[in-house]
């Protein structure tokens, strides 16, 4: 069996590598290459910068091309084996169809976990550097971690009311400074204090308001004013890095950072369905490698020897198109709250898993 498994693995690797190269070239040639060409012409960036940006964009592309290449490799491999009657010969020799598929299933699992690893360790960092370079090219400066019209509103999990409302006209996480600050404190579910300040600074693990006025809000009473030059806001415990997490692009985050963003938004009573769908899709898309093997193997075995790689490519495109449609529908339903976010992200995998399993059982009879 070791010889058979080695032979089948070799038959899978060549079309897999071809698929990775072909689909990656399609992704790059249809969009990215034109964008980089425009940057080269419009901003006059050097060839080295263009090449660097091209390399930085590859990890996010490969995450999508791996499942496509696994699909193509499985179809082409077993299509050829079936066309040359090698499948018939192996089954006549007592090798079950399920054992014949073991190398492809292992390839699918391996590529699933490899894709998750690339998604976690490489893609966020590469996207961040790429976006930094893009910002620096277009604006001539390093992109700061800033945000306009910042709202920070922690919600009490027991009462459902805000602990306080913090607004800043401008926030810079790198310097730890907010400007045009409004702070609305609550006591027993009622507004208690309103503070207006020119700026707030993060100093020695605390936020300090500068040059402002305090208004103590009391029902039916006159609002007294207290001016201050410096006032410590002990209620605000979130450090600048934590606050800036809200404005960070999700494509620059790994699973841990995305989970932290979800927790932050839930803490402030915001809807997190979109982020939850994206978190689950960081796992569901890589596992398409394994799902595609289940579907592609029966399709490949049923094909006759005709068309070669062109037939395999055609079937792959049809399957990918159907997968993309289901993925888009599931994402929309999950984001809209029609179905749970996890189901919206995994729906296409569940449908293809069921279809592939049924087809595999029928082929194995």
In a domain, 92, yes or no: yes
The Cα–Cα gap between 221 and 269 comes to 31
* Secondary structure class of 170 (helix, strand, coil): strand
Whether residues 239 and 150 fall in one domain: yes
Instruction: Show the CA angle centred on residue 228, arms to residues 224 and 234, nearest 5°.
Output: 95
Q: Measured between alpha carbons, how far apart are the two ends of the chain, in Å?
A: 21
Tens-place pLDDT, residues 131-165: 888 878 877 666 667 778 788 877 776 766 777 88
Distance from the Cα of residue 242 to its chain's centroid: 20
Whether residues 133 and 156 fall in one domain: no
In a domain, 180, yes or no: yes
Which of 186, 221, 243 represents a domain boundary (last residue)? 243
Rama region for 144: left / alpha / beta (φ>0; ψ in -120 to 50; rest):
beta
In a domain, 269, yes or no: no
Q: Is the pLDDT of residue 247 over 70?
A: no
**Of residues 248 and 13, more confidently modeled:** 13
Q: Are 322 and 68 a contacting pair, CB within 8 Å?
A: no
Per-residue model confidence (pLDDT) at position 251: 83
Q: Which residue has the tokens 């072909």?
A: 22
Indicate the pLDDT class of residue 310, thresholds 50, 70 and 90.
low
Tens-place pLDDT, residues 2-38: 778 888 888 899 999 998 998 898 888 777 778 788 8
Per-residue model confidence (pLDDT) at position 303: 52
Whether residues 134 and 17 fall in one domain: yes
The Cα–Cα gap between 297 and 106 comes to 13
Mean model confidence pLDDT for the chain: 84
Tens-place pLDDT, residues 333-344: 999 989 999 999
Q: Is the pLDDT of residue 267 over 80?
A: no
In a domain, 328, yes or no: yes
Q: Are 178 and 199 a contacting pair, CB within 8 Å?
A: yes
Burial class (CB in 10 A: 0-12, 13-18, 19+), 65: buried
Per-residue model confidence (pLDDT) at position 338: 93
Per-residue model confidence (pLDDT) at position 238: 82
In this prediction, residues 244-265 reach a mean pLDDT of: 81
In this prediction, residues 215-226 reach a mean pLDDT of: 73
Whether residues 116 and 6 fall in one domain: yes
The Cα–Cα gap between 85 and 264 comes to 58
Whether residues 85 and 16 fall in one domain: yes
In a domain, 223, yes or no: yes
In a domain, 256, yes or no: no
In a domain, 329, yes or no: yes
For the record, the structure tokens of 80 come out as 């050829």
Per-residue model confidence (pLDDT) at position 304: 52
What percent of the chain is predicted at pLDDT more than 90? 31
Domain coverage including residue 180: 146-243
Report H helices in the chain. Answer: 2-27, 33-43, 47-83, 86-92, 97-100, 102-121, 123-139, 240-244, 255-267, 273-284, 288-302, 309-336, 341-364
Whether residues 201 and 112 fall in one domain: no
Q: Phi then psi for 350, rounded to 5 degrees?
A: -65, -40
- Furthest-apart CA pair in the chain: how many Å? 95
Which of 243, 266, 287 represents a domain boundary (last residue)? 243
| Number of domains composing the chain | 2
The Cα–Cα gap between 45 and 11 comes to 43
Indicate the pLDDT class of residue 220, thresholds 50, 70 and 90.
low
DSSP state of 93: T
**Of residues 114 and 148, more confidently modeled:** 114
Indicate the pLDDT class of residue 279, thresholds 50, 70 and 90.
very high
Whether residues 94 and 205 fall in one domain: no
Whether residues 127 and 6 fall in one domain: yes
Find the range with the poorest average confidence among 140-144, 225-229, 272-276, 332-336. 140-144
| Radius of gyration of the chain measured on its C-alpha atoms | 28
Looking up residue 217, the CATH number of its domain turns out to be 2.60.450
In this prediction, residues 281-291 reach a mean pLDDT of: 95
Q: Is the pLDDT of residue 259 over 80?
A: yes
Whether residues 296 and 211 fall in one domain: no
Whether residues 309 and 328 fall in one domain: yes
Indicate the pLDDT class of residue 48, thresholds 50, 70 and 90.
confident
Whether residues 157 and 132 fall in one domain: no
Indicate the pLDDT class of residue 51, thresholds 50, 70 and 90.
confident
In a domain, 214, yes or no: yes
Whether residues 122 and 72 fall in one domain: yes
């Amino acid at each position: 069996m070791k010889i058979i498994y080695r032979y089948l693995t070799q038959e899978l690797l060549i079309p897999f590598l071809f698929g990775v190269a072909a689909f990656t070239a399609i992704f790059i040639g249809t969009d990215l290459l034109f964008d980089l060409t425009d940057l080269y012409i419009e901003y006059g960036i050097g060839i080295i910068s263009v090449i660097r940006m091209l390399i930085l964009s590859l990890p996010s592309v490969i995450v999508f091309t791996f499942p496509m290449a696994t699909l193509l490799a499985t179809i082409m491999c077993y299509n050829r084996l079936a066309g040359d009657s090698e499948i018939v010969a192996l089954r006549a020799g007592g090798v079950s169809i399920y054992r014949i598929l073991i190398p492809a299933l292992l390839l699918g699992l391996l590529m699933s976990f490899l894709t998750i690893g690339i998604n976690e360790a490489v893609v966020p960092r590469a996207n961040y550097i790429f976006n930094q370079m893009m910002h620096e090219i277009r604006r001539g400066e390093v992109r700061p971690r800033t945000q306009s019209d910042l709202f920070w509103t922690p919600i009490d999990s027991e009462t459902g009311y805000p602990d306080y409302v913090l607004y800043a006209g401008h926030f810079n996480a790198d310097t730890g400074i907010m400007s045009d600050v409004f702070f609305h404190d609550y006591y027993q579910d009622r507004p208690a204090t309103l503070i207006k300040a020119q700026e707030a600074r993060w100093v020695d693990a605390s936020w300090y308001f500068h040059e402002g006025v305090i208004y103590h809000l009391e029902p039916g009473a006159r609002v007294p004013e207290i001016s201050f030059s410096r006032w410590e806001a002990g209620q605000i415990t979130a450090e600048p890095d934590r606050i800036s997490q809200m404005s960070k692009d999700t494509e620059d985050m790994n699973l841990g950072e995305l989970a932290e963003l979800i927790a932050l938004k839930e803490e402030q009573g915001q809807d997190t369905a979109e982020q939850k769908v994206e978190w689950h899709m960081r796992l569901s898309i890589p596992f398409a490698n394994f799902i595609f093997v289940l579907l592609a193997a029966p399709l490949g075995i049923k094909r006759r020897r005709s068309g070669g790689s062109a037939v395999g490519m055609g079937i792959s495109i049809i399957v990918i198109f159907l997968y993309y449609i289901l993925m888009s529908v599931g994402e929309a339903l999950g984001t809209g709250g029609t179905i749970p976010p996890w189901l919206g992200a995994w729906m296409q995998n569940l449908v293809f898993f069921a279809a592939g399993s049924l087809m595999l059982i029928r082929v194995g009879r």
